[in-house]
Amino acid sequence: MKSSPNILIVDDNKGNLLLINSYLKGLDVNIILAFSGSEALKKVDGVELALALIDVQMPEMDGFALSKKLNEKRGENQVPIIIVTAHHFNEVDVAMGYNSGAVDYIIKPITKDILLSKVKIFLDLFNQKQIIRNDALRLKETADKLTRTNHDLKVSEKRISNLMFNMADWVWEIDENGIYTYSSQNSVDFFGLTSEEIIGKTPFDFMSPEENDRFRPVYTEIQKSRNPIKDLENWSIDKYGQKICLQTSGLAFYDEEGVFKGYQGVAKNITKRKLIEQALKTSEEKYKTMLNASPDGILLTDLKGLITDVSEIGLELFGIDNRDDVVGKHFSRFVPSKERNTLVEILKKTMNEGISQNVEMKFRKSNQTLFLGEISSTLIQGVGGIPFSYMFTIRNISQRKKIEAKQIHADRMASLGEMASGIAHEINQPLNTISLIMDNIMSGANKAESIDKDYLNKKADKIFGNITRIRNIIDNIRAFSQSHDDYLLTSFDVNSSIYNAISMISEQFKHLAITLNLQLEEKPPVIIGNTFQFEQVILNLMLNAKDAVLERKSTLAEKFDMFVKIKTFRENNIFVIEIADNGMGIHKDDIEHIMLPFYTTKETGKGTGLGLSISYRIIKEMNGTIDVWSNQFEGTTFRIALNI
């Protein structure tokens, strides 16, 4: 929006200001009034002025000084100044006025017509100046715009040239005779030939005879139908005789009269992609071979659990005849409802840790029968570590579990055989006590006509106490020797199980001078599992400890105090049972193998090699772990950790 010109009027006489203001009131101007030079300078700071009317005689700063200061910093935008005075100037005053920047004078008293005439002249000059300046600005803007347009055109041409030079695609044009008339410079990357070497040749000069026969009808059809070329693949031959695969897109073009003039298009070098596709196809065939060669069933699912592939053994494992009957179905269809939570935990662990191994759970076949399996899962990740699939490895362990049960029972019986002499000693001791008591009673009966009733009751209590002890030992042996395959997992007291195991060998330890040190937590947590199998683990570890301390004693000439220590305690959410001895220790080369079946460090005939492997399996089934620390000639510590 155009603004009115600004006129400054400065006079220390209010009447003069109001008079001049009233004379100029009819003009389209914005009048700025000031009573002093300093006030005037403040009011017009940064303001463009068309004219200034300044009184000469003013206190502090006269009109000449104000005129000079007014234009000091205005550069080319000098303000025209009319000096207003009450008397005629002499030549000196005139010179001072012009030197200070004045361009005209008005003598008081002011005549309205003279004032308006002069002001209008300066306003016309100001408006003409504004028009010239605006025209100059528009001309400059037009010139700048033309300059920018010319620059942009050059930049655009350069950009297109660079784009054509640097783009991965090869740009080409052929005329109506099939001869190349244009080729982008990157033809070197495709054929090993410059654009100059390409121009003048035809596409068929770079094709094998077979490709020539296949593509000539294609170009003819495109010309007739006027349909564009879209991702057309063909194999060409480069300068060095190597085959390259091109993917071409383009169209036929025509002149204004519709006459066919040729083809324009771009081509991608997809040789690497085609070779990768061939390699992937070969790899997929190998993958299928490996998938079906695995002795275990393998299933692949997406992250939602939908089956994407399954091995031949996997089909056989679940009793499925056709792969199409399972692909696309959810994996949970093979998992009984009671096992769903186990499957969820497996998937969580796999997603967090990348793998979950050897988890036992039941599966359902297609005929709805169940089998016991062992499942391992692996998270398959793509580029950038983004997960996209699960791989499940499943094996039927029903038969293995039966064999393991037989092994556990066999080891249990072997342990009983090994403890036979100790068990006999356990039973003989209370029998000897009973025999001595009976002899004592009979001897007393022969010496007296009657026996004191309190004496007889006291002896009878000892007899019955030892009979109870024999019964408990026999009950423990009987319970220990049974298979317990059908035993349901229940909560049991760890201390009671440890005491039951000890009861079968405590007298044997005493006889062999082995100190048994118990440090059991008074109120252990409830543990879920098979109490009889847990007793077998404790008994196996104690028998191994016994053999270890005896072996070390046999190697020493001096006196050796043998001990076995059993300690239980809590450690965060874990309940720990430690069985330590000061025996021979285990060689570092044997530590990694002692949990393997039939691996033993004992002499031939002194061990089956099953005890530790069976103990490991039992504790694992209780969701626990067994770890071992050992130093030769110092001792061994087995650590059982059970989740509370």
Looking at the chain, the whole-number percentage of residues with pLDDT higher than 70 is 81
Q: Where does the pLDDT of residue 521 fall: very low under 50, low under 70, confident under 90, or very high at 90 and above?
A: very high
Looking at the chain, the whole-number percentage of residues with pLDDT higher than 90 is 15
Answer whether residue 421 shows pLDDT above 60: no
Which tokens hold the place of 524?
Answer: 């252990």
Which tokens hold the place of 628?
Answer: 């071992």
pLDDT of the residue at 596 = 60
Closest CA to 489 of 450, 533, 520, 435: 533
pLDDT of the residue at 306 = 92
Q: Where does the pLDDT of residue 74 fall: very low under 50, low under 70, confident under 90, or very high at 90 and above?
A: confident
| Residue with tokens 């593509």, as numbered in its chain | 215
Helix (H, G, I), strand (E, B) or coil at 348: helix
pLDDT of the residue at 469 = 65
Q: Which residue has the higher pLDDT, 425 or 373?
A: 373
Quote the mean pLDDT of the chain.
81
377 torsion bin: left (phi>0), alpha (psi -120 to 50), beta (else): beta
Helix (H, G, I), strand (E, B) or coil at 88: coil
Please give the class, per CATH, of domain 405-643: alpha beta
Q: Where does the pLDDT of residue 549 fall: very low under 50, low under 70, confident under 90, or very high at 90 and above?
A: very high
Q: Where does the pLDDT of residue 599 fall: very low under 50, low under 70, confident under 90, or very high at 90 and above?
A: very low
If one counts every other C-beta atom within 10 angstroms of the C-beta of residue 123, the result is: 21
Closest CA to 548 of 562, 568, 560, 534: 562
Answer whether residue 464 shows pLDDT above 80: no
CA–CA gap between residue 637 and residue 549 (Å, rounded): 12
- Asked, colleague to colleague, whether 170-275 and 294-396 share their fold, the answer is yes
Pairing state of beta strands 514-519 and 229-237?
Answer: unpaired
Order of all β-strands in the sheet with 574-581: 514-519, 562-571, 574-581, 635-643, 625-631
pLDDT of the residue at 598 = 46
pLDDT of the residue at 98 = 75
pLDDT digits (tens, 9 = 90+) for 349-383: 999 998 998 888 899 988 888 888 889 999 988 77
Least confident of 234-238, 473-477, 503-507: 473-477
Q: Which residue has the higher pLDDT, 549 or 148?
A: 549
Which tokens hold the place of 536?
Answer: 């077998």
Q: Can you name the CATH fold of 6-136?
A: Rossmann fold (3.40.50)
Q: Which amino acid is at 411?
A: D
Longest dimension (CA), the chain: 176
If one counts every other C-beta atom within 10 angstroms of the C-beta of residue 385, the result is: 8
- Backbone torsions φ then ψ of 562, nearest 5 degrees: -90, 140
Q: Looking at domain 294-396, which CATH architecture does it have?
A: 2-Layer Sandwich (3.30)
Q: Where does the pLDDT of residue 438 fall: very low under 50, low under 70, confident under 90, or very high at 90 and above?
A: confident
Q: Where does the pLDDT of residue 561 fall: very low under 50, low under 70, confident under 90, or very high at 90 and above?
A: very high
pLDDT of the residue at 89 = 60
Which tokens hold the place of 637?
Answer: 């510590």
Answer whether residue 71 shows pLDDT above 60: yes
Three-state secondary structure of 453-507:
HHHHHHHHHHHHHHHHHHHHHHHHHHHHHCCCCCCCCEEECHHHHHHHHHHCCHH
56: Cβ–Cβ under 8 A, 6 or more apart, which residues? 62, 63, 64, 83, 84, 85
Which tokens hold the place of 185?
Answer: 């410079």
Answer whether residue 609 shows pLDDT above 50: no
Task: Look up the pTM and report it.
Answer: 0.36
pLDDT of the residue at 514 = 93
Distance of CA 75 to the CA centre of its chain: 66
Answer whether residue 502 shows pLDDT above 70: yes
| Residue with tokens 């008591």, as numbered in its chain | 437
419 torsion bin: left (phi>0), alpha (psi -120 to 50), beta (else): alpha
pLDDT of the residue at 562 = 94
What DSSP designation does 330 have?
B
pLDDT of the residue at 605 = 42
For residue 157, give Cα distances in angstroms to 153, 167, 520, 538. Answer: 6, 15, 89, 87
157: Cβ–Cβ under 8 A, 6 or more apart, which residues? none
Domain boundaries, the chain: 6-136, 170-275, 294-396, 405-643
pLDDT digits (tens, 9 = 90+) for 407-419: 555 555 555 555 5
What are 310-317's contacts with CB under 8 Å, separation 24+? 314/394, 317/363, 317/365, 317/373, 317/394, 317/396
Please give the class, per CATH, of domain 170-275: alpha beta
